[in-house]
Structure 1
Amino acid sequence: MPYEVQGVIARGKGQEVSLETVIVPDPGPGEAVVNVQACGVCHTDLHYREGGINDDFPFLLGHEAAGVVEAVGDGVTGLEPGDFVILNWRAVCGQCRACLRGRPWYCFNTHNAAQKMTLADGTELSPALGIGAFLEKTLVAAGQCTKVSAEAPAQVAGLLGCGVMAGIGAAINTGGVTRGDSVAVIGCGGVGDAAILGAQLAGAAKIIAVDVDDRKLEWARGFGATDTVNSRESDPVEAIRDLTGGFGADVVIEAVGRPETYKQAFYARDLAGTVVLVGVPTPEMTLELPLLDVFGRGGALKSSWYGDCLPSRDFPMLIDLFLQHRLPLDKFVSETIGLDQVEEAFAKMHRGEVLRSVVVF
C-alpha cells in the first residue's frame, strides 16, 4: 500500500514552501522506501525554491538525510529493512565510461527512483537532488542508500548527504590538500567550514578563512582556521598573499559560488596553485578572466561536485572518525526543528544565523 505523509513543497519560484500531503509508492524494482529520521536544511534546497537549479516545479525539498530502510523492491541486494543509511545523490551505475575507467565519483548515469512521488491530486513531484527528504518516508533508488554505523545520531549522519561531504571532499578529494599545505577558504557557511575541517584533517599547515561576517569567521576558527580575513575590511587577495609569504595559497576553495569571489580565489592562489569551486552558482552568472592570466599561472582550476566523493567509501569512513571523536560533525548542527519550520530555517540561513538547521522526525 502506498504511504501518505506530509512533505515540504516548493510550488513556484520564490514562493514560501508549504506542508502538503505526499503519496509515496511502494518500492519497485531497484528501489527502497526509507523512514527519514533527520534531514538538514541545505542552501541547495533554497536554490531549488528560488528557481536557481531548474524550473521543474513543484519540488519536494530536502536531501541531506539519514534514516532507516522501511522496505526494498525486487532485485535489491545488500540492503534490507532495518539498515541505518545516509541518503546520497550519487548512486553510481558501475557501467558508464567514468565508472569503467575507475572514476566512479564522476559517474555520468547516477540512479534515482523510477517511480514518482506525487501530491494527493496526482501531480508528480520533482525531488530535490533525486531524493526529496523533508517528509517522514521517501522513495529512492536502492543505490542512494549508504549503510553506516547506527551509533551515529541521524541529525549528524545526514549532514554527509550533501553540504558537509561537499566541503570535506572539496579539500581532500578535489583539492588534494596534504601535509604542510596552505589553504584559503572563501565563504564560511556550512560547506566552507567543512572544507576547513577537511583541510585540517589532511594536515594543512595554514588555513585561512575569508568571509564578510565576523561571526562566521569565529565559527571557522572552531573548525580549524589558523587565520581569518574579513573581506569587507581588507582585500582578501592581498591578505592571503601576506599570510603566505607573498606567494598565495597552495589551494583556494571558493564556497560561495559567485564570479567576484571566484576571481578572488583565482588571484589568491600560488603560481601553480589549485582553485576549487564548490559554491553553487545560479544559471545567469558568467565569469570573465584575461586568458593570458589563465595561461600564465599554471596549476589547476577545478569544480567539485559533492566533494568528488564516493559515498560507499567516504560516508562510513567519516562516520567512524566521528565516533572516534576525531571529526566533530556535531558542531555543524546549530538547531533541530520541526517539519513546519523549514521556511523559518531558510530565513535564518539567509541571515547567516545558523550553520545547519536540522529537521528531526
Structure 2
Amino acid sequence: MTHEVRAVVAVEKGAPVEVRTVVVPDPGPGEVLVAVQACGVCHTDLHYREGAITDGFPFLLGHEAAGTIEAVGEGVTDLGPGDYVVLAWRAPCGACRSCRRGRPWYCFDSRNAAQPMTLPDGTELTAALGIGAFAEKTLVAAGQAVKVDPAARPEAAGLIGCGVMAGYGAAVNTGNVGRGDSVAVVGCGGVGNAAIAGAALNGARKIIAIDVDGGKLDRAERFGATHTVNSRRTDPVEAVRALTDGHGVDLAIDAVGHPETFRQAFYMRDHAGVLVQVGVPAPEATVELPLIDVFSRGGAVKSSWYGDCLPSRDFPFLVDQYLHGQLDLGAFVSETTSLDGVEEAFAKMRRAEVLRSVVVL
C-alpha cells in the first residue's frame, strides 16, 4: 500500500519550491511511517534548494519535525502506532567502528529508510537529511524516530531535531561547558541561541552574544546571554577581552561558519580555552592562522557534528527541560505557516526577520 500526500519539493537548483503530490510507501523492515504534525524551516533546507549540499534533485525538503507513528515495519519493537516522536537525522547503527568504541554520536553508518519516496510518475526524491518532513507523512528508519513526552507542543518539540540540538550540544556535549565558565557565541540565529541556552542551563557565569544584528542580540538575552556585542560597531575580540578582565573566554562557539568568525572565536579564547565550530562553512571556505598562535595558545579547536548528540538520550531530556520550564523552546518559534508558505519562510529567513518559521500540518 502507498500513501499520496502533499509535500514540499525542490525540483531544480535555485527554483522556488513547489507543493506536489508525493507517494510514500508503507514501512518495510526497520522503517516507520510518521504523520508529521510540525516541521521547522531550517537554513539547511534552503541550502538543499540552492544545490549547496548535493545535486540530487528533486529534493523532498524538511527535517526539524515532530509527529506520531502511523505504522511500523517488520522488526520494529520499540515503537508503535500513536507514539509521539521527534525525528533525528542521525540514527546510530550500533555496529560501525565508532559505535563499537562507545562513540555512537560519531556513527559512520547512520540509518535512513531503505525505500524511496517518489513523485507519482515514479521519480525518486532525495529526502533532506534522510527525513523529508515538509509532508503530511514521511518514511524514516525506526532509529530516526525518538519517542518523547506527548505533552510537548509539536511546533516547539520538532526544533530539537536539528537547530536546537546542534547549538545546545555544541555548548554542552562538544564544548563541555560547566558551572562558572565564561562563554562567547558568535552568531545569534537559531543554533547560536540554542548554544546560549545550553550554556545558561549548565551554569555558565558569563555568556557573551555576538552578532551584527541588534534585533538578534535582543533575542539572545531572552535565551540567557548576560552581555551582547554588536560586531558591526566594535571589534568583537577586543570587546570580549574587555568583558573578561583581558583574558578571553573559556569557551568560544562559532555558530556562523565563516573564516572571519572562526578567527574571531579563536582569538577571543582565554589561554587553553576551547573553540567549537558548529556553523556549517561553505565548501570553498578556508582559514589561515599563524601556527605559533595555534601552538602557544593551547586549548582545543573542535567541530561539532549535530551537537555530538545521541538522540535517544538527548531528545527526551530536552523535551523534559522544556516541559519543566527550563528551556524555552517556544521562544525559537517566530511564526507558524503551512506547506504553501515555505518559500515565503525562506525569504523571511534571508531577511533575518524570523528565528524559526514552523510549518504546522
Whether the TM-score (by the shorter chain) exceeds 0.5 is yes
Aligned AA for 1:69?
A: I
CA contact (8 A) 1:185 1:255 kept: yes
Per the alignment, residue 43 of structure 1 pairs with: 43
- Match of 1:302, SS? strand
Alignment deviations for residues 207-241 of structure 1 (CA, whole Å, 9 cap, x no partner): 00000000000000111101000000000111111
Alignment deviations for residues 246-297 of structure 1 (CA, whole Å, 9 cap, x no partner): 1111100101111111111111111111111111112121222222221221
Per the alignment, residue 112 of structure 2 pairs with: 112
Distance 2:257 2:44 in 1: 12
Q: CA deviation at 1:53?
A: 1.1
Per the alignment, residue 146 of structure 2 pairs with: 146
Distance 2:260 2:12 in 1: 29
Alignment deviations for residues 172-199 of structure 1 (CA, whole Å, 9 cap, x no partner): 0000000000000000001000000000
Distance 1:70 1:14 in 2: 34
Q: CA deviation at 1:12?
A: 2.0
Aligned residue pairs total 361
CA contact (8 A) 1:65 1:159 kept: yes
Distance 1:299 1:58 in 2: 43
- Match of 1:140, SS? strand
Per the alignment, residue 163 of structure 2 pairs with: 163
Aligned AA for 2:68?
A: V
CA contact (8 A) 1:53 1:282 kept: no
Per the alignment, residue 358 of structure 1 pairs with: 358
- Match of 1:119, SS? coil
Per the alignment, residue 133 of structure 2 pairs with: 133
- Match of 2:180, SS? coil
Distance 2:262 2:299 in 1: 15
Distance 1:326 1:237 in 2: 30
Per the alignment, residue 28 of structure 2 pairs with: 28
Per the alignment, residue 265 of structure 2 pairs with: 265
Q: CA deviation at 1:139?
A: 0.5
Distance 2:46 2:268 in 1: 29
After superposition, where does 1:71-220 map in structure 2 within 5 Å? Answer: 71-220=71-220
Distance 1:157 1:297 in 2: 39
Alignment deviations for residues 9-35 of structure 1 (CA, whole Å, 9 cap, x no partner): 112222111111111011111001100
Per the alignment, residue 63 of structure 1 pairs with: 63
- Match of 1:118, SS? coil
Same amino acid, percent of matched pairs: 70
Distance 1:254 1:158 in 2: 24
Per the alignment, residue 7 of structure 1 pairs with: 7
Aligned AA for 2:272?
A: A
Q: CA deviation at 1:64?
A: 0.1
Alignment deviations for residues 114-169 of structure 1 (CA, whole Å, 9 cap, x no partner): 01001111111111110000000000001100000101111111000000111111
Aligned AA for 2:277?
A: L
- Match of 1:34, SS? strand
Distance 2:83 2:273 in 1: 42
Give structure 1 regions of 4+ aligned residues with deviation exceeding 2 angstroms.
none
Distance 1:297 1:47 in 2: 35
Alignment deviations for residues 90-124 of structure 1 (CA, whole Å, 9 cap, x no partner): 11111111111111111111100001001111111
Unpaired segments ≥5 residues, structure 1: none
Q: CA deviation at 1:62?
A: 0.2
Aligned AA for 1:33?
A: L
Alignment deviations for residues 48-90 of structure 1 (CA, whole Å, 9 cap, x no partner): 1122211111111100000000111111110111100000011
Per the alignment, residue 312 of structure 1 pairs with: 312
Distance 1:289 1:340 in 2: 45
- Match of 1:28, SS? coil
Which piece of structure 1 moves more, 66-75 or 45-54? Answer: 45-54
Distance 1:116 1:288 in 2: 42
Aligned AA for 1:345?
A: A
Q: CA RMSD in A?
A: 0.8
Aligned AA for 1:64?
A: E
Distance 2:119 2:296 in 1: 54
- Match of 1:150, SS? coil
Distance 1:122 1:258 in 2: 39
Distance 1:287 1:139 in 2: 39
Per the alignment, residue 325 of structure 1 pairs with: 325
Per the alignment, residue 227 of structure 1 pairs with: 227
Alignment deviations for residues 301-323 of structure 1 (CA, whole Å, 9 cap, x no partner): 11111111101111111111111
Aligned AA for 1:273?
A: G
